[in-house]
Amino acid sequence: MRQPAIFISHGGGPCFWVDGPMARAFDGLKAYLGELLASLPERPRAILIVSGHWEEKRITLGAAKAPGMIFDYYGFPEHTYRLSYPAPGAPELAEQARGLLASHGVDVALDTTRGFDHGVFVPMLIVDPGATIPVLTLSLRGDLDPAFHIGVGAALAPLRDEGVLILGSGNSFHNLRTFFDGEAKAAAGFDAWLSEAVTKPSAEERNALLAQWSAAPFARACHPREEHLLPLMVVAGAAGVDAGRRVFRDAIMGKAISGFAFG
């Protein structure tokens, strides 16, 4: 059955494994991620995940058979550096995805050594704690061009009809300097614009708005740098004509955080 394309928040660092107020702030997100597989039409044969924590000069697919761990966060308790997510990679799917991208004129590479960064393993430990579903990782291109990344998603859309869940892992709000300041106006304003843009009935209008996201109200206050928003562009491109809907919303540390699904 055809799988959806979904944009999720992956939280903040290893947020689900720390104590105190920070952990409790992410309880709603943890509950949502824990039910994500149950919301799908059937269990996916693989998950293609694009993380806001991997950028390359050209689009790159992680083709390792058994990806390791990349602990790309700092200052957290020692036990959070012993987390393990031993899901199998998907090198054959990587070759198929490379072919789709190349046929659309996308310059693409394979990386046979890349492991799972925390934009991958943090949410996936909640989504599929048994680590049984093969995972294919996809990088962003370092110029972070939104229209280009929408095109990347469009090229990969056929995989949805082959049982592959396309998952964008980032955050709808990502300004670490203001995350704990208690101010809510900017995040709420941008979240309202983003939700309206994503849920436009016309895919053409939706993608045109997303390509110009930096002109939205409070855009740069919420994303001084857009690497955590770009996975949404890939997902929106993979959506094709499917309408978007908001499937998650919470106020985390006072900041509006949303997730979206297509199909």
State residue 138's pLDDT score. Answer: 98
Give the C-alpha separation, 77 to 79, whole Å: 6
Does the pTM surpass 0.95? The reply is: yes
Q: CA-based diameter of the chain, in Å?
A: 49
State residue 22's pLDDT score. Answer: 74
Average pLDDT over the chain, rounded to whole? 97
State residue 21's pLDDT score. Answer: 73
Q: pLDDT tens-digit profile of 187-204?
A: 999 999 999 999 999 999
Give the C-alpha separation, 55 to 176, whole Å: 19
State residue 182's pLDDT score. Answer: 83
Spatial contact of 205 and 244, defined as CB atoms under 8 Å apart? no
- Residues found in the chain: 263
Question: Alpha-carbon dihedral of residues 24, 28, 34, 39, nearest 10 degrees?
Answer: 180
Q: Name the one residue in this structure whose structure tokens are 């997902």.
A: 235
State residue 31's pLDDT score. Answer: 97
State residue 204's pLDDT score. Answer: 98
Give the C-alpha separation, 80 to 76, whole Å: 7
Give the C-alpha separation, 122 to 13, whole Å: 8
Mean per-residue pLDDT pooled into runs of 10, the chain (263 residues): 97 92 88 98 98 98 98 96 98 98 98 98 98 98 98 98 98 93 94 98 98 98 98 98 98 96 97
Amino acid residing at 178: T
Helices 230-238/146-156 angle, 10° precision: 40
User: 53-67 in b/e burial notation, b at 16+ Cβ within 10 A?
Assistant: bbebeebbbbbbeeb
